[in-house]
Structure 1
Amino acid sequence: MPAGAPRVFVSHLAGVAVFDPNGDQVGRVRDVVAMLRLAGRPPRVLGLVVEVVGRRRIFLPMTRVTGVESGQVITTGVLNMRRFEQRPTETLVLGELLDRTVHLVETGEPVTVLDVAMTQLPARREWEIDKVFVRRGKTGALRRRGEALTVDWSAVTGFSLEEQGQGAENLLATFEQLRPADLANVLHHLSAKRRGEVAAALDDERLADVLEELPDDDQVEILGKLKEERAADVLEAMDPDDAADLLSELPEPDKERLLDLMRPRDAADMRRLMSYEEGSAGGLMTTEPIVLRPDATIADALARVRDQDLSPALAAQVYVCRPPDQTPTGRYVGIIHFQRLLRDPPFTLVAASVDTDLPTLPPDTPLPVVAGHLATYNLLAAPVVDETGSLLGAVTVDDVLDHLLPSDWRERELYAGMALPEASDGR
């Protein structure tokens, strides 16, 4: 390698912004595409998987990359907007090589791949993977970590073999800062085998958040690969309405087994939500809004709103009800919006600030009427109240949008305003 030739560790590219020559951002790097070669020759880097607007993934050939430096990638500005499709001869470096167990050629010792580095060749805009950053000994919670070292690509063997028990620790570390929706997009584009491995490595709360952002087919596939006890734990960690939607996609015997493994109260919430017609207020609602008794104070309400696990829509208002104060509650009294909580003195009782005039939604209210209700009263969420006056839950605007959009909206590829497509993707 000539002196001064750039070398980049691939994990450092994850999420890096991609800019055109004018300095306008066109997307972010999500993976690197390489082609493995025979006789220990370093793999050729074909290009980058770039996520553009609408979470559409496209292929950016390395011949179109003019610079990889200072935490950014610069392109020629001409992009092929055709959706990226991995070919049989191609390997996704982040998705398929990290966490793989390979062997040192000299000693046969097993090592775990932590990262790989690619370098630019003297030939204009050509790159190859020349270094592998590995750790001696198997990694894991119960194993002592061994020495980490960087070796030449030719010094290891085993990349060409499919690995059945590949871990996910280093891949997850690469994407640990991603929001759940973005990590869900990463999982969606992995192979089914790799998707299962990554899902298994996530903790219950993180996996629950990610599942809520995945298409139905991916949700069912991932849940089906988990042990039933863990699947029940993950369902309990999900928002009740999302968990109920996922359970409704399962065969009846599987659904009943999982419900039996869940905590009785959570299972009761699931059964209640699934009893309502799909697309109705009852079917859309969450059973975990913020509920306060009339003798609570504004300070109590603000303390509840500060809960970082609440979505913005649920934190936008609190619901005042007579005891019991868990859904289905005693008599529903009214609602207090977040702005009112900020205006009134902390020692004020919520009973003095509650809005009792806002109409409520019966659980059988159809989706178009629910959407119209939120729009009419400029709400982020609305109370669902039964004929006895008990609060059953709250419908949030994000759940309404989820059901108003086309069923495949998470996979839709919106790319208005991007560059015109080329005739070829350069591969």
Structure 2
Amino acid sequence: MTPQDSHDLTRVGPGTVMGNFMRQYWIPAARSGELQPDGTPMRLLLLGEKLVAFRDSSGRVGVMDHMCPHRNASLVLGRNEEDGLRCIYHGWKFDVDGHCVDMPSVAPHQCFKDKVRAQAYKAVDRHGVIWVYMGPRQDDPPPLPMYEATLLEEKDVDIQFMMRSCNWMQALEGDIDTSHFGFLHVGHLDPEEVPEGHPLEHTAGDRAPEYHVRDTPWGTNYGAYRAVKPGVTYWRYANYMFPFWTQTPQGEFPVNIQARAWVPLDDTHTMAIFWRRRTASGGPRSTMEPLKNGKPLPGARPQPDFHPNGTGWLERYRVVADESNDWLIDREAQRTNRIYSGIDHIGLQDQAVTESMGGITDHAREHLGPGDLMIARTRRRALQAARAFAAGTPAPGVSEPEVMMGARSGYFEMPASVEWQQAYADKMRSAVRVLKQPAAPVEEAVPAK
């Protein structure tokens, strides 16, 4: 990567190559429950823009520039009342579309409210998540996205938010790097302790998989393979999906309906949002299944500790473990190999290594190897798509969101004679699917009062 490549890939603010590209897509931004009708407005940082989010009296979501277009006072301080957000400085009031609907500090014969509009973005509420469209098509936005896991009803899916203090691509790359799993997450696992058929059986036995990688309509796809018995190959497939989505192979391919969005808050902070089909709904098995000793994998406790959400730009879904406390690393657990990394949570293990690289890693200092093939291909694919968009090519999957339905991740065994792309296609034909109808129009995704 050249310095210009690195810059274009990692910067997301207004006017940047990648930032302009990402603004063509709908962006998941918050839990539905974070905003209540006539409730407290919320600071929302997305793609380097400081916004205010609120839910009006009728249940509609508004997302707009936090600065009042009158004198730039913050609308985060505003009064959320009677279907609008009123600035406390002079009482100017704005609806969810940014229209000024009241100008009480101006005499009626001098009122010019019809000429004033706040910079507002289209926002909708779907299946427990608020989505924001920050692109130029505010009057005619593209269809809502069809990343399969996000189409699950709220009762059928677990959704987790977790902020990471590093660049979006840096954070995302852990999800498309299967070789690190055998070290960072299970380096302490003795293969003899893994029962036959356990989700970790082959990962523990062979920690140096080989890869096939390809470009796809939705982004990139890899098949990591290991020969596990005569004539049988163990496959692990994963995906990068435009503009900042991943699917990991941590589940049986036919039922592994999951996805993660790595939403850039700014250049050096990312909100990871993870959708995973619930096991009770027929979802994938868990790596937390007991080992031969009857206990779950050490170092994989179910949840990390979080700070309470605050009101600042970067005070939502923050874990307690961070650089200031060395991500709560337990050196004794590391020395005794009870936990290979010394960090007791799989997500925190990823968080620690990616945040330790700095806010934006220095790509010039890297020495990529064969196990980094998917990472190199994904960087190139994302950068090429963003630059092609800047040159006039439509952003992939924006107007045809069903393209993303071609992506599925997971693991399975297959006769070694089956070619890797054919193995993927065969398993896709037998995979459980969420739905097959087109994406809902934007107006239908707004919740009823």
Taking structure 1 as the reference length, the TM-score comes to 0.24
Q: Which has the higher helix share?
A: 1
Higher relative contact order (Cα pairs below 8 Å, separated by 6+ residues): 2
TM-score for the superposition, normalised by structure 2: 0.23
Which has the greater radius of gyration? 1
